[in-house]
Chains A and B, each alone.
Chain A
Amino acid sequence: MHSIPGRRLIMALFLIFLLLPIYWLVNMSFKTNAEIVSTMTLWPHTPTLQHYKRIFTDESWYSGYINSLEYVLLNTIISISVALPAAYAFSRYRFLGDKHLFFWLLSNRMAPAAVYALPFFNLYSAIGLFDTPWAVALAHCIFNVPLAVWILEGFVSGVPREIDETAFLDGYSFPRFFIRILVPLIASGIGVAAFFCFMFSWVELLLARTLTSVQTKPIAAIMTRTVSAAGMDWGLLAAAGVLTIIPGALVIWFVRNYIARGFALGRV
């Protein structure tokens, strides 16, 4: 009753459709450039690790991964810590302009990054944060903070009010209640929100590239630059691409049991 006829076939076809381009990327990353250009082979006939070796030994390459992870983590921490109290306020209280504020926040999640690229460049240059992880982390807040508030509000609303009231009757102060009782109760929600912040900060390139120049270039930007400079080093490009998929795959693996609920933003 739950599912439709031929569901196995549909699912299998769709998964093949998803995996085929990724398979091609992985396949290519193990080939030599000569093999890539000259023949069409479904698996590497002369498998090589030279592209991966190059990335792991050349600092200009591997530092890109560290830079990316640095601002992603920074952004996740900022987003979650400012969004938590706000989510509680939106879930529990009515206050002046609450609905408008919520809409305004949400509308920022929808604002095109291209609009902000240039003003951000000016702003962060003016305050001396340009080319630091902080600039990118703060810039990514524009879409991650609203999203985190939105997700966490759903999860906080799932906690019965009686719990707050009982805690206050028991003499808990607000901060103590918040950290000792509320946060553990919505731990899975925080995980989901962190996952989304990680995801959207990790995949974004336009702002990250605009706000960095030398010191903190994200890996995604290094990829584009090196390829244009070195002509077409397809193998190296493919290997770098494979390595950018791995952190995401690891994160998914950790949250796999919460994925479905998480993608509904705690609203099912």
Chain B
Amino acid sequence: MDKTINQKAWFLVLPVFLVVAFSAVLPLMTVVNYSMQDTFGNNQFFWNGVGWFKELLDPSTDLGGRFLASLGRNLFFSLVILAIEVPLGIVVALSMPRDGWTVAACLVTLALPLLIPWNVVGTIWQIFGRPDIGLLGYTLNAMGLDYNYVSNAVDAWITVIVMDVWHWTSLVALLCYAGLKSIPEAYYQAAQIDGASRWAVFKAIQLPKMNRVLLIAVLLRFMDSFMIYTEPFVVTGGGPGNSTTFVSIELVKIALGQFDLGKAAALSLVYNLIILIVCWIFYTVMTNAGSERKPQEGAV
């Protein structure tokens, strides 16, 4: 669709611009300000230049070590949950019933975990996984497995990952389902006449049609898992030790726990920058995918 050039459109965007500028740019300027200073309390600040940033990116210091370790854990976590949730979401979307009341029932059940407050998600899994009062923990221990997410780092990781799969696979599934719904019946009929196998139908028809929604899904899931805070905090509190301390948890520990404003601010900026870069890559890929698709649509 060709758009007309109209600079007056800025007036329509102005309210959004003001609201977001107020709630994003102003605080971010405070962060930039803090990141260059050091404080000894009493609202006395001293100029520290890029000192915090140097420390942050140097793994031999305490701050740098903690930051890079939590960053590594967070990246690993994001990759693992993407590797599980995307294929599983596609399978679930393909398993949706075709019609009848079961469709609505499945959709409502799928969407349910998405609307549970994040700390309640944590609480649910905390209760569910505890070896003494939780169904999962009790069953596993009764089966002879020594499962305890409070003391064992591997168990804590498994719990956090399974919890995220429980919480967010539905989002991927619903997105894929929406993509699948948009495929015209004629495509399947044509495939049937050609004698295409089940796998060929998936590869040649369903996957390309899901491309765009899958990109949205991967983008949202990557970003949200990269800034995950509440759920693991409620379940494991970042422990045992530091084994499930992700970047946001580390950041809140430094900012609100130790009140180390300078360190926290420097960490925030680097954290934000990483997210911005990843976001920009995805955005470019997405808009390119969109513009490549258009001529094809015209041809069909």
Contacts and interface: CB of A to CB of B under 8 A. Distances in A.
Interface of A: 1-5, 7-8, 10-11, 14-15, 17-22, 24-25, 28, 36-37, 40, 78, 81-83, 85-86, 88-90, 92-96, 98, 101, 103, 105-120, 122-123, 138-139, 141-142, 145-146, 149, 157, 161, 199, 202-206, 210, 219-220, 223-224, 234, 237-238, 241, 244-245, 247-249, 251-253, 256-257, 259-261, 263-265, 267-268
Interface string B25-36: 011101100000
Nearest to A150: B216
A203 B116 contact: yes
Interface stretch (B56-64, B90-98, B146-154): B90-98
B71 interface: no
Given A18-B166, A267-B216, A36 B125 contact: no
Contacts of A108: 20, 24
Interface string B237-269: 000000000011101100110000100100010
Given A105-B16, A112-B248, A146-B20, A268 B178 contact: yes
A238 B182 CA distance: 40
A117 B171 contact: no
Nearest to B224: A110
B192 interface: yes
A110 B248 contact: no
B107 interface: yes
A217 to B, nearest CB: 13
B94 A264 contact: no
A19 to B, nearest CB: 7
A267 B212 contact: yes
Given A95-B7, A268-B213, A115 B271 contact: yes
B4 A117 contact: no
Given A4-B198, A248-B115, A265-B216, A89 B9 contact: yes
A22 B128 CA distance: 9
Main secondary structure of the interface of A (DSSP, over half): helix
B117 interface: yes
Contacts of A116: 23-24, 27
Tier of interface size on chain B: 35 or more
Contacts of B22: 138
A95 B10 contact: yes
B157 interface: no
B112 A252 contact: yes
B135 A20 contact: yes
B116 A93 contact: no
A114 B127 contact: no
B1 interface: yes
A40 B220 CA distance: 38
B120 A21 contact: no
B30 to A, nearest CB: 4
Contact of A24 (B5, B135, B227): B135
Interface stretch (B45-53, B76-84, B272-280): B272-280
